[in-house]
Amino acid sequence: MSLTYETQGPSTPFTMTAKDCGAQDAHEYRSSYNLEGDEEVYLTLCFKVRRFPNGAMLVPYKEEGGQLWGNEQDSSEVMGYTQGCAANFTLTGEMLKAARQEWRRKRWGLIWTGLEEAVGGLIAITVIAAVVGWIVRGFLGIPCGRDGRPDHPRESGQGSAIA
């Protein structure tokens, strides 16, 4: 299971989001993060691009003296900033509580999806078996509710009256 967090810049805290990272956004993956007990999640950290005064869409990586610095997602400055943030990223307080709730919500969603697929598969197998059985019985002349063809035509109701 995975959770995604995003930030708008170096001075903006990370917030949980249901959206994926955009194509221009920088991102880092954290292979696993233990929430509590056996609740383990994979984290994606998104570093959102912003429009800078020159019109370019850049990833902010440094804020100094009220000035924001940005560059392309694959630049060495941005990569150093994002990797450092990922290495030091921790969930604390309300973030950890929200992550646990989201983990449980996603877990139950996966359980229900699995149950729905299992029931759907069972229904499909039952319908296919009934249709194939009906077709085979028709070709072999086996009446419904019987396991074989009747020995006498009279048993199947197809005999003629003897005078």
Residue located via tokens 């307080």: 93
Residue 115's φ and ψ, nearest 5 degrees, are -65, -40
- Mind listing the pLDDT tens digit for each residue in 85-137? 888 888 778 887 888 888 888 889 999 999 999 999 999 999 999 999 889 88
**Is the pLDDT confidence value at 154 over 80?**
no
**Is the pLDDT confidence value at 155 over 70?**
no
Ranges 24-28, 37-41, 52-56, 102-106: which has the least confidence: 37-41
* CA neighbor of 12 nearest in space, from 62, 75, 52, 58: 62
DSSP string, 18-67: SSPPPSSSEEEEEEEEEEETTEEEEEEEEE--EE-TTS-EEEEEEEETTE
Side chain identity at residue 116, one-letter code? E
Separation CA 98–CA 8 (nearest Å): 20
Domains in the chain: boundaries: 2-91, 94-156
pTM: 0.64
- Tally of residues, the chain: 163
- Across 12-16, 46-50, 63-67, 147-151, the highest mean pLDDT is recorded for 46-50
- Hey, which residues does 102 pair with through a beta bridge? none
